[in-house]
Amino acid sequence: MTVVRVEQKVLNENQRIAVDLRRRFQEHDILCLNLVSSPGSGKTTLLENTLAAFRPEEKVAVLTGDLQTENDARRLARYGFPVQQIVTGGVCHLDGKMIERHLEPWSLADIDVLFIENVGNLVCPSSYDLGEEAKIVLLSVTEGEDKPLKYPSIFLKSSLLILTKVDLLPYVPFDIEAAKANARQINPGIEILEISCTTGKGMDEWRAWLEKRRSQHHANAGTAAVSG
């Protein structure tokens, strides 16, 4: 019983911070996207390819989380955009307080798009709102197509499913149509992209999804400003 009360208290505090983060992102017209997956599904590689396609003058930033090391931040910083590593020291997810603290050195006025690369885990990150506009879940073809059924919460809460490493499909026993069906069983409205960062397959569709989301975000922000 005590464990339940403690967990509820932590989640309530996180929700309070997330509400404030979302307000700040909206005030500064920042599109914030939270990328979640198992370890090794390709979040960092996808972000590398994504950052490489942005023009140098664009206002893009990344917060990347891991239990230890700053390896991912070093990889992503090569593309010239602001990047910070969040080392959780064993915590299996990012939370609002971590995001709040690591945003402090940055001016939000200098950010249009903020990518949050969560800790590799399909369970814990689904419970923690980070103030993001959308969660994006990645599932590689080297994993099981039943992952959406095993870990339904993150698939239910995600706007987009990215099936990664599809260039390996000829070599692994992965039923991609079953994976899609399982994801839609949990979340009928989830959008799905198939991507290979090795061959470039699906990257144009991913960039188009980002641009569409940015346009929708800016339109909504403009409407909110007029209404306010």
Tens digit of pLDDT for each residue in 147-170?
999 999 999 999 999 999 999 999
Average pLDDT, stretch 211-216? 92
- Kindly state whether residue 26 falls inside one of the protein's structural domains: yes
Mean of the per-residue pLDDT values of the chain: 93
CB 85 within 8 A of CB 73: yes
Please tell me the predicted confidence (pLDDT) of residue 5.
56
**162 - beta bridge partners?**
138, 193
228 falls within a domain = no
Per-residue pLDDT of 195-211, as tens digits, reads 999 999 999 999 999 99
Our count of domains for the chain comes to 1
Supply the pLDDT for residue 223. Answer: 63
Q: How far is CA 164 from CA 8, 112, 179, 207, in A?
A: 34, 26, 12, 15
| Mean pLDDT within 87-100 | 95
Domain membership flag for residue 65: yes
Residue 63 forms part of a structural domain: yes
Q: Is residue 152 part of a domain?
A: yes
Residue 204 lies in a domain: yes
The CA distance from 171 to 39, in Å, is: 20
Q: Is residue 211 part of a domain?
A: yes
Nearest to 26 by CA among 227, 222, 226: 222
CATH of the domain at 9: 3.40.50.300
Specify if 155 maps to a domain.
yes
**Tell me, what's the pLDDT at 2?**
47
For residue 123, the enclosing domain spans: 2-217
Determine the pLDDT at residue 44: 97
Write down the pTM of the prediction. 0.92
